Homo-oligomer: A and B are copies of this chain.
C-alpha cells in the first residue's frame, strides 16, 4: 500500500498522489518520466488529474525525498522513484533510453577534487550521453 509511504512522508493521502505514486512504481524499466508523460499515463487510465497537479505532486514528492528530479541535457525535468543507493545516468541520444550505474572510483575522485578546490560538496550530477547498444547498429 502506497498510502503508507505517503503518510510516512507527511503527505495527506489523496487520489492524485496515490495514483501518481503507483505509476512511478509501475515503471519497472523506463524508470525516468517527465511530468508530461506521467500526465499522459493518467489520461490513458481515465484519471481526471490536471497537469498542474502532476507538477505539484511530483515537486512535493521530491521535497519529501520520494522521488529524484533530473535535468538531462536540453530536455525537460524527469522524475524517478528515489532509491537507497546513489547512482548516475547514461542516456541514449537517439531513443532516449536511460541506464543507471554506480562507480565508487568516480565518487571518491569527485570528493577529492572538491576538497582540493576548497569546496564543501553538497551534490553532483554525472550524465553520460551516447548511443545505446540497440541504436548503434541501425
Residue of B nearest to A111 (CB): B128
Chain B CB count within 10 A is highest, among A92, A106, A128, A133, for A128
Give bound CA distance, A133 to B118, whole Å.
Answer: 5
Q: Contacting chain B: which of A18-26, A34-42, A49-57, A97-105?
A: A97-105
Residues of B within 8 A of A129 (CB): 121-125
* Residue from B71, B109, B113, B128 in contact with A119 in the complex, judged by beta carbons closer than 8 Å: B128
Within 8 Å of chain B (Cβ to Cβ): is A114? yes
Question: Would you call A119 and B90 a contact (CB within 8 A)?
Answer: yes
Interface residues contributed by chain A, number (CB under 8 Å): 33
- Checking B90, B114, B118 against A117 with a beta-carbon cut-off of 8 angstroms, the contacting residue is B90
Say whether B130 contacts A122, CB under 8 Å: yes
In the bound assembly, the distance between CA atoms of A126 and B121 in angstroms comes to 13
* Chain B residues, Cβ within 8 Å of A131: 119-120, 122
- In the assembled complex, which residues on chain B have CB atoms less than 8 Å from the CB atom of A99? 117, 119
Query: Counting chain B CB atoms within 10 Å of each CB, which of A93, A119, A127, A136 scores highest?
Result: A119
